[in-house]
Structure 1
Amino acid sequence: MERAELRGQAGQGTGRRRHRGHASQDPDIRLSKALSYILRHGAAELGLVIGKDGFLDVEEVLRCPQCRHYTEKDIQRVVETNNKQRFTLRRHPETGMLQIRANQGHSLQVEELELIPITEAAGNIPEQAVHGTYRRHWHSIKGEGLRCMSRRHIHLAPGLPGQGGVPSGIRSDCELAIFIELGKAIKDGIPFYFSTNRVILTPGNEDGVLPPKYFQRVLQLKPSRCVLPLD
């Protein structure tokens, strides 16, 4: 959704209704969406060379059509106030240039994200690992499992939206929560990681899938809470 919206913004003339919605949207939200698109998906399309660690000079970001009306201070504010902690800022160790990175969600090839392996030996397996989704997807997920799709990882959260310590990893409007048997999947050789902002990431098995056999339970969140059958 973010990619489609931002391609439309860059292309101009996308229709009166979309233009009105874009104009009335909070500037910081527009900037956050633009940063997500550029850093996760669109850098190559925009002619930007993103580092293996996912960092890009803020100066380069501000030259993009989506960000030309913003400043370095605007980016710093959005990063600092983002309640999902989607981004990281740093000064390049050699050039001193301010750089920004998306903490997860990439479709771009990023090889050196700061991911922390989740293992029994490390003793850092969380009590819960939850994937949020929508009712319309449940039939295919129940039969085929969770897939990376266009991203490099399947995203899980260490709890439900609104619970303490769950800033990101699951959207607040999700209708279903799929609880994963993390320990069982890890024993079977499926890797899991924590991102910088504590989102749980997995590439799935060799086919990029987290099979249904690792589904512990499925909780319907909306319109009312109830447990759904797994079979």
Structure 2
Amino acid sequence: MNKEFEQISKYLSYLLRHAPESIGLRLDPNGWAYIADIIEKSTSPKMTKELLQIVVETNDKQRFSISRCGNKIRANQGHSVEIDLTLEPTIPPSVLLHGTAKRFMTSIMAEGISKQKRHHVHLSEADSVANAVGARYGKPVILKVDAEQMAKDGFLFFKTANNVWLVEHVPAKYLKCA
């Protein structure tokens, strides 16, 4: 992804996940915003529908979706604003992964993984994704989550359009270092 697309992706993440009000943008209850509103209210004179389409299609993490009609956009997960992604509970694979930094391990192994300011804890099936996430915060550590046992114990898992697994909390007893 080129630098311009990366900047627009970060801007969209900020607007659609955390601060739509910063430009007077309104999200519907499911997190969708009208593309025309983003273009109209954006501080970037380069913002066009075509550019947004390219950013969505080329985003390596598939962070965004465009509606079937093509007139709305939303972030697939990672919101700190209240929205309902309308995801159905899904049976997870037996093991999921969580990437974190070594400096957080003492806390995580004592208290588990918490969602912090987001709606859910983010988990992955891919080692490469978990490693990349952990590396954003320091020396990466990959944790294995016993998702099968968690599901048996009543925890609900959700899978987003871009293959991120979401769960409310991961207690420490379900964690092992990879």
Q: Which moved more, 1:186-195 or 1:169-178?
A: 169-178
In structure 2, relative to structure 1, the CA distance for the partners of 1:53 and 1:67 (3 Å cut) is farther
In structure 2, relative to structure 1, the CA distance for the partners of 1:36 and 1:66 (3 Å cut) is farther
Distance apart, 1:136 and its partner CA: 1.2
Distance apart, 1:47 and its partner CA: 2.2
C-alpha distance in structure 2 between counterparts of 1:59 and 1:30, whole Å: 19
C-alpha distance in structure 2 between counterparts of 1:143 and 1:38, whole Å: 34
Structure 2: gaps (5+ residues): none
Query: Whose relative contact order is higher, 1 or 2, with alpha carbons under 8 Å and at least 6 apart?
Result: 2
In structure 2, relative to structure 1, the CA distance for the partners of 1:44 and 1:203 (3 Å cut) is farther
Aligned partner of 1:41 in structure 2 is 18
Aligned partner of 1:122 in structure 2 is none
Distance apart, 1:127 and its partner CA: 4.0
Aligned partner of 2:48 in structure 1 is 71
In structure 2, relative to structure 1, the CA distance for the partners of 1:50 and 1:66 (3 Å cut) is same
Q: Does structure 2 conserve the Cα–Cα contact (< 8 Å) formed by 1:54 and 1:110?
A: yes
Q: Which moved more, 1:41-50 or 1:51-60?
A: 41-50
C-alpha distance in structure 2 between counterparts of 1:103 and 1:152, whole Å: 12
Structure 1: gaps (5+ residues): 1-24, 120-124, 205-209, 220-231
Compare the two structures and name the one with the higher helix fraction: 2
Runs of 4+ in 1 over 6 A off after TM superposition: none
Query: Is 2:112 the partner of 1:145?
Result: yes
Q: 2:157 aligns with which of 192, 198, 221?
A: 192
- What secondary structure is seen at the aligned counterpart in 2 of 1:53? coil
Distance apart, 1:101 and its partner CA: 0.6
Q: Deviations over 1:139-163 (max 9, x none)?
A: 11111110110100000001211xx
C-alpha distance in structure 1 between counterparts of 2:4 and 2:100, whole Å: 27
Distance apart, 1:26 and its partner CA: 0.6
Query: Is 2:87 the partner of 1:115?
Result: yes
C-alpha distance in structure 2 between counterparts of 1:178 and 1:186, whole Å: 17
**Structure 2 letter corresponding to 1:211:** P
C-alpha distance in structure 1 between counterparts of 2:26 and 2:36, whole Å: 13
Q: TM-score, normalised by structure 1?
A: 0.69
Q: TM-score, normalised by structure 2?
A: 0.88
**Structure 2 letter corresponding to 1:115:** L
C-alpha distance in structure 2 between counterparts of 1:186 and 1:169, whole Å: 24
Equivalent pairs: percent with the same residue? Answer: 33
RMSD of Structure 2 on Structure 1 (CA): 2.1
C-alpha distance in structure 1 between counterparts of 2:101 and 2:60, whole Å: 22
Distance apart, 1:190 and its partner CA: 1.2
Q: Does structure 1 conserve the Cα–Cα contact (< 8 Å) formed by 2:145 and 2:174?
A: yes
